[in-house]
Amino acid sequence: MDKFLIKGPCKVKGQVNISGSKNASLPILAATLLFDKTVEIKNLPRVRDIDTMLELISSLGFLVRRNYKNGSVKITRLKKIKTIASYSLVKTMRAGILLLGPLVAKYKKAKTSLPGGCLIGARPINYHLNVLKKLGMQYSIKKGYINAYIKTSLVGTTIKFPKISVGATENAILASCFAKGKTILKNCAIEPEIKKDLTNFLLKAGVPIKWIGKRTIQIYGVKKLKSISYSVMGDRIECGTFCVAAAMTEGNLRIKGFNPKLIKTELNLLKKTGAKIKIYKNEIHIIGSKKIKNIKFLQTKEYDGFPTDLQAQFMTLLCKAEGRSVISENIFENRFMHVAELKRLGAKILIKKNKAIIEGKTKFEGAELMSSDLRASVALVLAAIVANGISIINRIYHLDRGYENIEKKLSKLGVNIKRIS
């Protein structure tokens, strides 16, 4: 298994281009199952989760032609479509559950593996199943598979999510595109990957879809979609990660390829810790400060609150702050896997239920570390960059799931990082 060898401390300086968004690409790729003709998706990030999703789509009987050079893919429905999403693929990538809605809506049946849980939590799919049931889907669960079907077609209706869920919102939107009549979904997740990218993609394909409230969407079902080409947005969490890298290394970074207006909350928090930030149309210029101020209380929330996917990265930054900070993780029940590893580098962090109390002024000393999940792993990379001496980060396949060429991007910014296979 690959590992990273990082020699710190380094400053992060120069310019970095943000790759396409993993979490915008996954639902848009799931939506390609709804098309009869070829559909082209551009600016896909070259990361393992995208490989897995494309493998899943091809296993269903779609022709997948990938152009690695420009990160685009053309997907064409072939004659015989299978409607089984296998455990071997879904177990490595939970977003495989997003195939359920489109398959049932378009092909009237689906057999999809229950997604495995993961380290950050049990991650049930009850909201997915309930909303699809309300649209008319019938299902049974046997031997770890969801066997779903409908007699004639899904029927549009008004549904309010009991809790905000990114994946369940995406599954419901995809299914509603082929439900009869009007569907209104209330209490939706409104991450930009949904409210902008997935919505714009479906609009362009001819779905009458419209946000009629902050968290309320209205969709009229259609019979078929237009063949289109669409380029996905930049990756919001990769962008936030590089902002933290600059903030914690007294760096000076120009980050291109992402609309800064979509991460106002995070940028305001970084300014509170002392970073100097200038924003342009599609670029952020961030200069880290020598003294990093603490944040007394920071809690993760659904968008447009502070995102859980940046919690680990901000914790690493706050270890370097002048005083004590508290982070409350309100989205997942077990998303502090990075804490034990940060403590191996010298961090002083106390966990009390879903709160982490972070003493500042940490001088990280290089050590051998273990990645656990995608965002925890990148937090270890950030800590290793500022640590004195050599750090080894094991099991970086977690990182390869969601960060494209991260060691190449960091090396170009002055970080002493090597991948050891």
- Which residues of this chain interact with ligand EPZ, rule CB under 6 A? 23, 26, 95, 121, 123-128, 163, 165-168, 189, 308-309, 331-332, 374-375, 402
- N-to-C CA span, the chain: 6
Cβ closest to ligand EPZ, residue 136 vs residue 307:
307
Q: Is 118 a known active-site residue?
A: yes
Cβ closest to ligand EPZ, residue 230 vs residue 303:
303
CA 91 to each of CA 121, 130, 285: distance values in angstroms, whole numbers, following the listed order: 14, 21, 39
The minimum distance between CB 304 and ligand EPZ, in angstroms, equals 12
The minimum distance between CB 321 and ligand EPZ, in angstroms, equals 24
The minimum distance between CB 313 and ligand EPZ, in angstroms, equals 11
Cβ closest to ligand EPZ, residue 301 vs residue 412:
301
Alpha-carbon gap, residue 10 to 116, rounded angstroms: 38
Looking at the DSSP bridge assignments, the partners of residue 391 are 6
Given a contact cutoff of 8 angstroms between Cβ atoms, the answer to whether 366 and 345 are in contact is yes
The minimum distance between CB 29 and ligand EPZ, in angstroms, equals 11
Alpha-carbon gap, residue 367 to 341, rounded angstroms: 9
Cβ closest to ligand EPZ, residue 13 vs residue 236:
236
Find the residue with minimal CB distance to ligand EPZ.
Answer: 167
Looking at the DSSP bridge assignments, the partners of residue 356 are 327, 351
β-pairing, 355-359 vs 348-352, is antiparallel
The CA-based angle 248-252-256, given to 5 degrees, is 105
The minimum distance between CB 85 and ligand EPZ, in angstroms, equals 15
Cβ closest to ligand EPZ, residue 15 vs residue 126:
126
Alpha-carbon gap, residue 63 to 24, rounded angstroms: 21
Task: Tell me which DSSP letter residue 262 carries.
Answer: G
Cβ closest to ligand EPZ, residue 320 vs residue 375:
375
The minimum distance between CB 390 and ligand EPZ, in angstroms, equals 27
- Of the listed 118, 177, 239, 319, which one is catalytic? 118
Nearest partner of 247 among 346, 316, 337, 344, judged by Cα: 316
The minimum distance between CB 169 and ligand EPZ, in angstroms, equals 8
Cβ closest to ligand EPZ, residue 139 vs residue 332:
332
Characterize 277-290 residue by residue with b for buried, 16 or more Cβ atoms within 10 angstroms of its Cβ, and e for exposed: bebeeebbbbbbee
β-pairing, 209-213 vs 216-220, is antiparallel
CA 104 to each of CA 81, 147, 231, 269, 279: distance values in angstroms, whole numbers, following the listed order: 12, 10, 26, 42, 43
One-letter amino acid of 167: G
One-letter amino acid of 420: I
3-state percent helix, strand, coil for the chain, nearest multiple of 5: 35, 30, 35
Give catalytic residues, as residue numbers.
118
